[in-house]
């Protein structure tokens, strides 16, 4: 049977067919849909959202050691968080096969950088596979688990946005159940003390040699000869671009396994062609191997080293020409991303934007859009969980320098707080900081598409579970009860009062804004706790003075032209604009 699947759906299917038992992940585009699709197989596969990527991989490692096939999935920056256990896991090896899926994001479609995680395979010394389409995504997932067990190693399955989200035909197979490997205590294998680690390190060298020998003969690395004039070495989605540009007139070495690199095979291929190109996105990963081996090739001299590739970019780089396409009759209208109409973060950011002498350290989430005009209420954004610790450092530095006028407010979402913000808040409390931390609790993981988290009361598999109480958690790590403020972010007076009180204190404070994401499928608990009845606002044109203060809240439902209007279809009745209007021209209808 064949069906159309995205690469992410295909990876989930491959995991199911391969007899996977345990799957964990932290959501992050472009990897999110892998676990969202695995949950349909929850009769066979236990699956969960972890608080962060490190925890996800560690849980998968534990499942592997216990004797079952396991996996962890994350976006490329998540591997930075998971790198700590990954590097040691490469030393110890596995019991049940274990796969780490890294979904890279060339072009930074939804990321703060576009790092090339192929470099992690080399650095950590783990076998790596790179699928180029949906069928390979399924097949390589199955192969990855087999190779993990064959070579006693974790396997990095490296995806990219285009492979994750593009659709293609996939042939389905039945699930093959894998027997549980009986657990046996093995301290020398799994306890990574220095004494054991020295032995593991030597064993790892031997395994790498065995894996490279396999790579040189692997079916997924076989060359395709179409003449001797031009050869192309490539991997992943870049193979699809190269095929579209070069067609059947050149020879190809498509590498499905790119660590260890099959150097004997590459040398043989290079000897058989007169001119050799390396087509790859981002870093010169393959190219560097060739040039270090003294193999002449053309790569990043012409192929861009940053941003996502496409056939036109490759064609222009190689041949200096582009294909004629359909020309639009008018220029595309591009609306920059903005907080949704009715977003509970808008009222908070509007109030914060009016505070003077405030440095605002931000974090990763849909609320990062608070940095955009007209709110412009975030000054920094580096990584998950970094806002509170960066804010703590900034506040302490300002205090040490004698600048007592500039205050620091750190902004973080609920899911990001659970991810790694808790550690940062501990740092601020333990070291007697003086920044104000704001936890934006919108009752769901918003940016990546409404995944459950430890604060929502539900698991990935839909089971009701313990809900982390954020105020009590803050108290448990040492935050004074009187320094914790809980507000409705849609009520500007509440937000203003809490911010003023919190910022004025010369010690750690927390403001928790609590209101569900307007796009969320509301639970019975949400409906009981919050007034979510449908509301609308409209502008009384007779009262409106066209001062446009309401436009300053940045709501996409407010249209400003000859007159200011509120789009009835978009408005959710949050009333933030109503509270801003000095002429009472905005009314609830």
pLDDT of res. 321: 82
The answer as to whether 325 is a domain residue is no
Domain end residue (candidates: 217, 239, 263) = 217
Prediction pTM value: 0.95
Residue 524 shares a structural domain with residue 542: no
Task: Kindly indicate the confidence band of residue 333, based on its pLDDT and cuts at 50, 70 and 90.
Answer: low
Which percentage of the chain shows pLDDT scores above 70?
98
Residues 253 and 356 in one domain: no
SS3 state of residue 418? helix
Specify whether 404 is located in the same domain as 545: no
pLDDT digits (tens, 9 = 90+) for 257-269: 999 999 999 999 9
Same-domain pairing of 237 and 382: no
Name the domain boundary from 482, 497, 529.
529
- Based on the domain organization, do 74 and 199 belong to the same domain? yes
Q: Which residues have a Cβ under 8 Å from the Cβ of 260 and sit 6 or more positions away? A: 127, 208, 211, 212, 215
573 is in which domain, residue-wise?
A: 537-588
Q: pLDDT (tens digit, 9 = 90+) per residue, 358-391? A: 999 999 999 999 999 999 999 999 999 999 999 9
Q: Which domain CATH number covers 80?
A: 3.40.50.970
Q: 91 and 62 in one domain?
A: yes
Residue 495 within a domain? yes
Task: Look at residues 169, 188, 217 and tell me which one is the last residue of a structural domain.
Answer: 217
> How high is the pLDDT of residue 188?
96
| Nearest to 290, CA basis, from 271, 309, 303 | 271
Residue 455 and residue 418 share a domain: yes
| pLDDT at 331 exceeding the cut of 90 | no
Q: How far is Cα 514 from Cα 489, in angstroms, rounded to an integer?
A: 7
The CATH number for 555's domain is 3.30.70.20
Do 300 and 191 lie in one domain? The reply is: no
Phi, psi of 439 (to 5 degrees): -100, 115
Q: Which pLDDT does position 328 carry in this prediction?
A: 64
Rounded mean pLDDT of 425-436?
97
SS3 462: coil
How many angstroms separate the first and last alpha carbons of the chain? 54
333 within some domain: no
pLDDT class for 332, splitting at 50, 70, 90?
low
Task: Give me the mean pLDDT over the 500-512 stretch.
Answer: 97
Reported as a pLDDT band with limits 50, 70 and 90, residue 329 is low
**Chain mean pLDDT for the chain:** 96
Same structural domain, 379 and 241: no
CATH number at residue 305: 3.40.50.920
Q: Write out the two tokens for 347.
A: 């009222």
**Residue 336 falls within a domain, yes or no?**
no
Contact by Cβ (8 Å): 532, 521: no
The CA–CA distances, whole Å, from 125 to 11, 28, 338, 547 equal 23, 24, 41, 62
Mind listing the pLDDT tens digit for each residue in 266-281?
Answer: 999 999 999 999 999 9
What average pLDDT does the segment 112-129 reach? 97
Q: pLDDT value at position 336?
A: 81
> How confident is the model over 171-190, as a mean pLDDT?
96
User: What pLDDT is recorded for position 285?
Assistant: 98
Q: What would the mean pLDDT of 129-141 be, rounded to a whole number?
A: 98
Residue 334 has pLDDT above 80, yes or no: no
440 and 576 co-located in one domain: no
* Whether residue 211 is found in the same domain as residue 238: no
Which of 148-157, 165-174, 311-320 shows the lowest mean pLDDT across its residues?
311-320
Mean pLDDT of 30-54: 97
Residue 374 lies in a domain: yes
* Same domain, residue pair 266 and 288: yes
Give 323's pLDDT tier (boundaries 50, 70, 90).
Answer: confident
pLDDT at 385: 94
Domain count, the chain: 4
Is 307 among the domain residues? yes
């Amino acid at each position: 049977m064949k069906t159309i699947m995205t690469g992410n759906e295909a990876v989930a299917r491959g995991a199911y067919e391969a007899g996977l038992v345990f799957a964990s992940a932290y959501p992050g585009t472009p990897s999110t849909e892998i676990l969202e699709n695995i949950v349909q197989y929850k009769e066979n596969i236990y699956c969960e959202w972890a608080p962060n990527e490190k925890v996800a991989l560690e849980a998968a490692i534990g499942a592997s050691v216990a004797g079952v096939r396991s996996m962890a999935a994350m976006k490329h920056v998540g591997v930075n968080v998971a790198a700590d256990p990954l590097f040691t896991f490469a030393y110890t090896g596995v019991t049940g096969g274990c796969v780490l899926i890294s979904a890279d994001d060339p072009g930074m479609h939804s990321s703060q950088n576009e790092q090339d995680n192929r470099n992690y395979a080399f650095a950590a010394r783990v076998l790596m596979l790179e699928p180029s389409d949906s069928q390979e995504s399924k097949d390589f997932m199955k192969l990855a688990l087999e190779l993990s067990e064959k070579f006693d190693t974790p396997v990095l399955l490296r995806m990219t946005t285009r492979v994750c989200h593009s659709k293609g035909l996939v042939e389905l197979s039945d699930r093959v159940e894998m027997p549980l490997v009986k657990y046996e205590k093995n301290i020398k294998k799994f306890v990574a003390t220095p004494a054991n680690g020295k032995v593991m390190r030597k064993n790892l060298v031997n395994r790498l040699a065995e894996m490279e020998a396999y790579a040189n003969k692997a079916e997924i690395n076989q060359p395709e000869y179409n003449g001797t004039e031009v050869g192309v070495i490539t991997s992943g989605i870049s193979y699809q671009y190269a095929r579209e540009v070069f067609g059947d007139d050149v020879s190809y070495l498509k590498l499905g396994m790119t660590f260890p690199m099959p150097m004997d095979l590459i040398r043989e291929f290079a000897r058989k062609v007169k001119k050799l190109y390396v087509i790859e996105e981002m870093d010169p990963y393959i190219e560097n191997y060739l040039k270090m081996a003294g193999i002449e090739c053309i790569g990043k001299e012409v192929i861009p080293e940053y941003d996502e590739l496409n056939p036109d970019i490759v064609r222009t780089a190689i041949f200096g020409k582009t294909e004629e396409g359909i020309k639009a009759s008018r220029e595309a209208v591009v609306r920059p991303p903005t907080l949704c109409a009715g977003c509970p973060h808008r009222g908070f950011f509007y109030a914060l934007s009016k505070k003077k002498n405030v440095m605002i350290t931000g974090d990763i989430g849909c609320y990062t859009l608070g940095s955009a005009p007209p709110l412009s209420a975030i000054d920094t954004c580096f990584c998950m969980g970094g806002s509170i610790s960066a804010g703590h450092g900034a506040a302490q530095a300002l205090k040490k320098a004698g600048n007592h006028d500039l205050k620091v407010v750190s902004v973080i979402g609920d899911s990001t707080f659970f991810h790694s913000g808790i550690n940062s808040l501990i740092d601020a409390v333990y070291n007697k900081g003086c920044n104000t931390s704001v936890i934006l609790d919108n009752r769901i993981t918003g940016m990546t598409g409404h995944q459950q988290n430890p604060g929502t009361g539900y698991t990935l598999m839909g089971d009701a579970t313990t809900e982390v109480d954020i105020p009590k958690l803050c108290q448990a790590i040492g935050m004074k009860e009187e320094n914790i403020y809980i507000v409705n972010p849609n009520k500007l007076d509440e937000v203003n009062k809490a911010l003023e009180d919190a910022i004025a204190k010369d010690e750690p404070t927390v403001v928790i804004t609590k209101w569900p994401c307007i796009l969320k499928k509301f639970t019975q608990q949400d409906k009981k706790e919050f007034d979510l009845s449908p509301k609308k606002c409209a502008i009384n044109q007779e009262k409106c003075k066209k001062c446009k203060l309401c436009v300053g809240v940045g709501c996409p439902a407010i249209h400003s032209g000859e007159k200011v209007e509120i789009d009835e279809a978009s408005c959710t009745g949050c009333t933030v604009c109503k509270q801003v209007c000095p002429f009472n021209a905005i009314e609830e209808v």
